[in-house]
Amino acid sequence: MSTILDVAQQAGVSAMTVSRYFNQPERLAPATYERVRTAIEQLQYVPNAAARSLISGRTKTVALILTDITNPFYTTIVRGVEDIAQQHDYTLILGNTDEKLEKERCYIDIMISRRVDGVIIASAPGNNHYLQRVFRRGIPVVLIDRTVKDIDADVVRGDIYTGGKRLTEHLVNQGFQDIALIGGFTGVSSLEERQAGFRFAMEAAGLTPKVHPGRTDQLSGEEITERLWKEGKLPEAIVAANNHVAVGALVALRRLGLRVPEDIALATFDDIESAAAIYPFLTVAAQPAYDMGTQAMELLLDRMQGYAGPSRNRLLPTELIIRRSSIAPTVVAH
């Protein structure tokens, strides 16, 4: 295995010059830079990342901690973060908390011990003051999708208040009056914003908003839908808290022999590839997940490069995509 000394000898330069190639390339003359690069390729030299981090004070790694990587919404966020990170030679370390605060705290300790240069996080439900441990160590943090109480940090999120309002207004305009929002954890900012938009639209129409919180997984959508059916409280239309809950509701409705939208309408948040493929095609308030990821990483880069200004709040617009699942039966019949 080649060493930095081997590269220096091959290129006819000092070991310090080779070190500058990796850590301060702008200080090298073009001809010297090219000689070192050629020697590295010929010897297939791979620098020691740990040693480089001791010299530069940086590990060139960033952490992305999310709640449910199986959700295509978060998967798309990962891609956005990763694309920008790679453009700037950062390695991404991914953690999945399953909406569990203890698991999140464990990941935070791991990321601190690995000396990551920055953290992007969609925090799990609960009072997470543990994030302060990251701030106290001077590690920049960007919140994504969710805000955290008493945490002052840059945040990138979708305008899901407007998304919830527009989804509900669409259902009301279709003639539905008994509408319920199902799923999602209480105490999570993104769910609270969905609920606020839903409540506003319902009350503006003179209707009573019905909210049935739960979790964010498919099984929660199934459980809530079946419970409402057993209690005789199944509404005319359902707004699901996210795409997984919507799929769960759809599975339960089919199991109960009910058709969408002929027997009950269904709409949700966050578009997924299967939303257009799943019959009867789900109406969604789509968040720009990829852009959320890229902008979060760009904000983190600013912080890691020395920006010390006030916290920034990026609120990205949602898009209402109307498909057959939310169309009133009289319209479908035509």
- CATH code for position 233: 3.40.50.2300
- For residue 162, give both structure tokens: 């407007």
Do both 124 and 212 map to the same domain?
no
Which pLDDT score, from 0 to 100, does residue 4 have? 87
Domain of 37: which CATH number? 1.10.260.40
Which pLDDT score, from 0 to 100, does residue 334 have? 39
Do both 129 and 204 map to the same domain?
no
Do both 177 and 235 map to the same domain?
yes
Q: Are 172 and 179 in contact (CB under 8 A)?
A: yes
Do both 168 and 275 map to the same domain?
yes
Which pLDDT score, from 0 to 100, does residue 331 have? 53
Do both 169 and 259 map to the same domain?
yes
Do both 142 and 173 map to the same domain?
no
Which pLDDT score, from 0 to 100, does residue 54 have? 46
- For residue 150, give both structure tokens: 């008493």
Q: Residue 237 forms beta bridges with which residues?
A: 179, 265
Separation of alpha carbons 94 and 201, rounded Å: 37
Which pLDDT score, from 0 to 100, does residue 333 have? 43
Domain tally for the chain? 3
Do both 200 and 273 map to the same domain?
yes
Do both 22 and 149 map to the same domain?
no
Separation of alpha carbons 251 and 262, rounded Å: 15
Which pLDDT score, from 0 to 100, does residue 215 have? 94
Nearest to 47 by CA among 24, 23, 29, 82: 23
Do both 193 and 210 map to the same domain?
yes
Q: Are 8 and 38 in contact (CB under 8 A)?
A: no
Do both 148 and 198 map to the same domain?
no
Q: Give residue 184's identity as a one-letter amino acid code.
A: G
Do both 244 and 95 map to the same domain?
no
pLDDT, tens digit, 9 for 90 and up, residues 8-47: 999 999 988 988 887 777 788 999 999 998 998 898 887 6
Q: Per-block average pLDDT, block size 10, for the chain (334 residues)?
A: 87 90 81 92 74 59 94 94 96 94 90 91 85 88 94 95 98 97 93 97 98 95 98 97 94 96 95 63 94 98 95 97 90 46
pTM of the predicted protein model: 0.80
Give the domain range for residue 206: 160-287+320-333
Is the sign of the CA dihedral 78, 84, 87, 90 positive or negative?
A: negative
CA distances from 9 to 14, 35, 41, 46, 194 (A): 8, 11, 14, 16, 62
pLDDT, tens digit, 9 for 90 and up, residues 272-296: 665 555 666 899 999 999 999 999 9
Do both 238 and 329 map to the same domain?
yes
